[in-house]
Chain A
Amino acid sequence: MTAPQIDPARLDRNWRAITVELDAPRRTRTERLLRRVGVPSHTARLAVATPSLRRAWFVAIGVVFFVGLAAADPTNPRDDLFALLILAPLVPLLGVALGFGPEADPAYEITLSTPMRGFELVLTRAATVLITSIALLTVAALLAPGRSLAAFAWVIPSLGLVSAALALMTFMSPRRSAATVAVAWVVVVTVIRRNALDPLAAFAAPGQALMLAVVIAGAAVAYARRDRFDLLQVSW
């Protein structure tokens, strides 16, 4: 093709596209993994953009994963299961606490000023955290010897804790709300264990039904007060 036949604007566009492909930095491992499993590029970016979420949350997952395996005591399986069931729901809770708000996101004020709804962003991160932790903790539960379906009794409680934390986040900072929910969870489950014959009484059908109600109530409160995710909370 001779020079006069080349559209300079098109040439420039193509050159810039090549430049940006070559110069753009490599994605993080987590982001590449999310994209490989089919998460769209923009969602993957939103999910992992908070550095505190990436670091602390993966450490927590690792800790619970190994606690779940290491605590496998064939002589006392229900006690060992209790350790997993009380700890596992705290992992997604930690992820949610580290995924939103001024303490987690250095660009929080800029984030708020964009057309992305704060509620949508917090849900995107909560969903990523929940899906990933549930998948990894399920592997931990399956790897431990002698486990039954009871090993999955933490799934609904973890949804309940996240939902309760989201609702509380409309009143207080994400970290404070997660800490409040975590303390309440540990206290309630420990008290039930001390007063019941079965160490896993808190995770039986009535407990699961109660946590399901918490999921629904928490989600309803968070949705009704979603404006709070959109505005700068000076009191946090």
Chain B
Amino acid sequence: MSPAQILATGATKRFGDLRAVDGVDLHLAGGITTLLGPNGSGKTTLLRCLATVSTVDEGELLVDGLDPRHETDRLEVRRRLGYLPQEPGFARSATVFDVVEYVAILRGSRDERARRLQVLDVVERVGLGERLSSRVADLSGGMRRRLGLAQSILGSPTLLLLDEPAAGLDPDERLRLREIVTEQRDAATVLVSTHHTAEAVIGDRVAVLDGGRLVFVGPPEQLAAVASGRTWVQASEPKDVRASWRQADGKHRCLGAPPPDAALVDPTLEDGYLLLVGA
């Protein structure tokens, strides 16, 4: 099957007076999209709506033309879906095999022998093949994340949603995670949420959420370009800038409207992101 198509039109999710997702318009079909945004910007809520465990209150959120608000459509979307929530949580006494097999059953795998092979396949793909009988309690944080990833790629989903998969991982584990995620690029539409701009490098495009609103969608270099002509360095303490911080060389890196004699520098993706989210 080809990667799933996501079409959001004015998608809104409310919790009381709070609009956690506010009128989001988004069209994705294949590739990896990094969903960036500060804490509380609505990333998790948007992913939950896409994962069909929550529904939008206004607007539409369709996956391959299916509307998850209807039971039959929701089940069909779930057949195409792989999902790693922000806090996956597995029973500490369960083994790696138990966890993945349980999800395989929930995904409809009835034949025991085929199911076991399916479990072995995904567990090996995330590098946990030697830990089949290890209990969750004995796994490191990175291994648990990979276990979460293993269950999410069961059955080759065409829509893969990963909520903060790199949270709390050391650089080696993050690299391993990136390898696993990028392997899915051709087979699925992958949406990875993070609040670390460094993670955006794996994406073909970046979507930025702020206060529930989608404020940017485009390739990473285009996000950096948002800060073009608005990033400079200066020796003295800046005033009236959107954001600034002191670099290792002692100079101040500044974002905002530059003074006439500003020493403009090439912006990074992080500069563009900070300008967008109203730093």
A interface list, Cβ under 8 A from B: 13, 16-17, 19-21, 23-25, 40-42, 45-46, 49-51, 106-117, 121, 227, 230-232, 234
How many angstroms from the CA of A37 to the CA of B48 in the assembled complex? Answer: 39
Of residues 65 through 81 on chain B, the ones whose CB sits less than 8 Å from some CB of chain A are: 71, 74-75, 78-79, 81
Stretch at the interface among B2-10, B113-121, B186-194: B113-121
In the bound assembly, the distance between CA atoms of A231 and B74 in angstroms comes to 10
CB neighbours (8 Å) of B91 from chain A are 49-51, 106-107
Which residues on B sit within 8 Å (CB–CB) of A112?
53
Provide the B90-104 mask, 1 if CB < 8 A to any CB of A, else 0: 110111011101110
- Judge whether A17 and B132 touch: CB under 8 Å: no
8 Å CB contact of B105 from A17, A42, A107, A109: A42
- A25 near B93 with CB under 8 A, answer no
Q: Distance (Å) between the CB of B74 and the closest chain A CB?
A: 7
7 A-B pairs within 8 Å (CB atoms) are namely A17-B113, A46-B102, A46-B106, A51-B91, A109-B83, A110-B103, A113-B51
Most buried by A among B74, B105, B117: B105
Query: Judging by beta carbons under 8 Å apart, are B120 and A113 in contact?
Result: no
> Considering the chains assembled together, what is the distance between the CA atoms of A190 and B115 in angstroms?
50
Interface string of B110-129 (1 = CB under 8 A from A): 10110111011000000000
CB pair A234–B15 under 8 Å, yes or no, is: yes
| Contact, CB under 8 Å: A115 / B54 | no
Question: Known contacts A20-B116, A25-B132, A51-B93; is A115 also within 8 Å of B48 by CB?
Answer: no
Residues in A with CB closer than 8 Å to B97 are 23-25
**B54 contacts which chain A residues (CB < 8 A)?**
231-232, 234
B88 x A107 contact (CB < 8 A) = yes
* Cβ–Cβ < 8 Å partners of B53 in chain A: 109, 112-113, 231-232
A200 to B107, CA, bound (A): 47
How many Å lie between the Cα of A117 and that of B108 in the bound state?
Answer: 11
Enumerate B30-73 residues with CB–CB distance to A below 8 Å: 48, 51-55, 71
Further pairs besides A110-B151, A230-B71: 14, Cβ < 8 Å: A20-B117, A23-B97, A25-B98, A49-B102, A50-B91, A51-B91, A106-B89, A107-B89, A107-B103, A109-B53, A109-B89, A110-B85, A115-B108, A121-B106
Chain A proximity mask over B129-169: 1 for CB below 8 Å, otherwise 0 = 00011000000000000000001000000000000000000
What is the CA–CA distance of A50 and B90 in the complex, to the nearest angstrom?
A: 10
**Bound-complex Cα distance A111 to B53 (A):** 10
Which one of A16, A21, A116, A227 contacts B106 once the chains associate, using CB atoms below 8 Å? Answer: A116
Q: Which residues of A contact B101 (CB under 8 A)?
A: 45
The answer to whether A117 touches B75 (Cβ under 8 A) is: yes
**Among the listed A41, A50, A114, which residue makes an inter-chain contact with B103, where contact means beta carbons less than 8 Å apart?**
A114
Q: With A20-B119, A20-B120, A42-B105 given, is the CB distance from A109 to B52 under 8 Å?
A: no
Closest-CB distance, A53 to chain B (whole angstroms): 11
- Known contacts A24-B97, A231-B55; decide if A113 and B78 are in contact (CB<8 Å): yes
Shortest distance in angstroms between B98's beta carbon and chain A's nearest beta carbon?
A: 7
Q: How far is the CA of A13 from the CA of B114 in the complex (A)?
A: 11
CA of A111 to CA of B85 in the docked complex: distance in angstroms?
Answer: 11
A16, B117: Cα distance in complex, Å = 7
Whole-angstrom distance from the CB of A160 to the nearest CB of chain B? 27
Let me know if B90 and A107 touch, CB within 8 A. Answer: yes
Q: How far is the CB of B260 from chain A (nearest CB, A)?
A: 51
User: Once the chains bind, are A51 and B55 in contact (CB under 8 Å)?
Assistant: no
**Does the CB pair A114–B132 fall under 8 Å?**
no
A21-B116 CB under 8 A given contacts A51-B94, A107-B88, A232-B48:
yes
Whether B109 sits at the interface, judged by CB under 8 Å, is yes
Chain B residues in 8 Å Cβ range of A231: 53-55
Q: Which of B79, B95, B119 contacts A115 (CB 8 A)?
A: B79
Going nearest first, the 5 A-B pairs with the smallest beta carbon separation are A106-B89, A114-B106, A109-B85, A113-B83, A116-B106
Q: Which residues of A contact B48 (CB under 8 A)?
A: 109, 232
Q: Give bound CA distance, A20 to B96, whole Å.
A: 12
> In the complex, which residues of chain A have a beta carbon less than 8 angstroms from the beta carbon of B98?
25, 49
A24 to chain B, nearest CB (A): 5
B151 touches A116 (CB 8 A): no
CA distance A230 to B133 in the complex (A): 31
Residue contact B113 to A115, C-beta cutoff 8 Å? no
Write out the residue numbers on chain A whose beta carbons fall within 8 Å of the beta carbon of B117. 13, 16-17, 20
* Residue of B with least CB distance to A119: B71
